[in-house]
Amino acid sequence: MRADYDASTALLEQVSYALNEGVALRIQGGNTKSLLGRPLNGEVLDTRIHHGIVSYDPTELVLTARAGTPLKEIEEVLDAAGQMLPCEPPHLGDGATLGGMVASGLSGPRRPWAGSVRDFVLGTRVITGHGKLLRFGGEVMKNVAGYDLSRLLAGSFGCLGLITEVSLKVLPKPRQCVSLSLELGVAEALRELAIWGQQPMPISAACYDGQALHLRLEGGEGSVQAARQRLGGEHLDNGFWQDLREQRLAFFANPAPLWRLSLPNNTPPLELPGEQLIDWGGAQRWLKSEADAETIRRVVSAVGGHATRYAPGDDSFHPLPAALLRYHQSLKRQLDPQGIFNPGRMYAEV
């Protein structure tokens, strides 16, 4: 574990230089989410020089750390205190950082039951496109008053500003965790999940791999055991969920392009070419397919969802409707008027 280091002054100087010289900045930490978004040009700004846990009070369930702090280090500290990041963020490689976790906004198998990354962000320190280091919740930018900027940064992929510090709500680890597999067809599995979603079942993860429905039960011993007896099924190693989160299952080894489909709850099976893995109880589906982007997105859009391609390119993210794109452009102009932060990472127009 490295000694903590506050490099906020150095980061601010690099941003000020970029503003004065009109240089674009390519923000990165561990660079483990580089498969998402459009290719970037610009001077690399590496957040890993700015690292360390600033404060952590287990009794208050709040942790504050610098953006370049390795996610693994944070999870180890929380685990020692019997606590966790409830959104179960994926690392997707060695060296994933806290800043990258927030900027990508990606959550793991627990997300539908516990919440997203955005739901647990309490506050941030950010270097803005005006060359200022601000703590949101303290100093406020008048021209964007009304926005919850700390949470707005989650999933922004560095396009709105440079996150330097994050305060997060954490939660105690569940007292008991049991995983099981049920042999069901895909349509039956989705129907059962819809029914269980209306009942007080201690489900914290649900995945259908084409052969069986895998469930994770978490909570108090009584509720978990009661659900276990009711559902039956075969025992499943709890490590399955980490392999799913980190895309280490055999499904992900398929060389076909990987797509992430985000869908409304209770969406029936989708007719798409390729192989599918159902996650989040049906709300997230992974697709390995050689089909073109237009075909995939037409099917997904028809049911009210969107599709993200896990490969660098101009069409990685689902195209935005014209009205929503204008909102993105307006927000970008207000927070990053010179367009120096990850320009075009998500969309060419932003």
| pLDDT for residue 1 | 61
Q: Which two tokens stand for residue 165?
A: 């510090």
Share above pLDDT 90 across residues of the chain, in percent, rounded to a whole number: 92
| pLDDT for residue 138 | 34
Q: What would the pLDDT profile of 3-46 be if each residue is shown by its tens digit?
A: 889 999 999 999 999 999 999 999 999 999 999 999 999 999 99
Between CA 35 and CA 300 the distance in angstroms is 21
Q: What would the pLDDT profile of 168-200 be if each residue is shown by its tens digit?
A: 999 999 999 999 999 999 999 999 999 999 999
Is pLDDT at 140 greater than 60 in this prediction? no
Mean pLDDT of 328-346: 96
Is pLDDT at 146 greater than 70 in this prediction? no
| pLDDT for residue 148 | 77
Is pLDDT at 96 greater than 80 in this prediction? yes
Between CA 72 and CA 160 the distance in angstroms is 25
| Residue 94 · residue 32 · CB < 8 Å | yes
Name residue, tokens 């953006």: 67
| Residue 258 · residue 288 · CB < 8 Å | yes
Between CA 106 and CA 114 the distance in angstroms is 13
Between CA 19 and CA 127 the distance in angstroms is 12
Is pLDDT at 207 greater than 70 in this prediction? yes
| pLDDT for residue 3 | 80
Is pLDDT at 143 greater than 50 in this prediction? no
Of 167, 145, 141, the C-alpha closest to 154 is: 167
Mean pLDDT of the chain: 94
Mean pLDDT of 209-214: 96
| Residue 268 · residue 299 · CB < 8 Å | no
Q: Band the pLDDT of 314: cuts 50, 70, 90.
A: confident
Mean pLDDT of 259-269: 96
| pLDDT for residue 115 | 96
| Residue 77 · residue 13 · CB < 8 Å | no
Is pLDDT at 139 greater than 50 in this prediction? no
Phi, psi of 222 (to 5 degrees): -65, -50
Between CA 155 and CA 42 the distance in angstroms is 20
Between CA 186 and CA 211 the distance in angstroms is 8
| Residue 258 · residue 252 · CB < 8 Å | yes
Number of C-alpha atoms within 13 angstroms, CB side, residue 42? Answer: 27
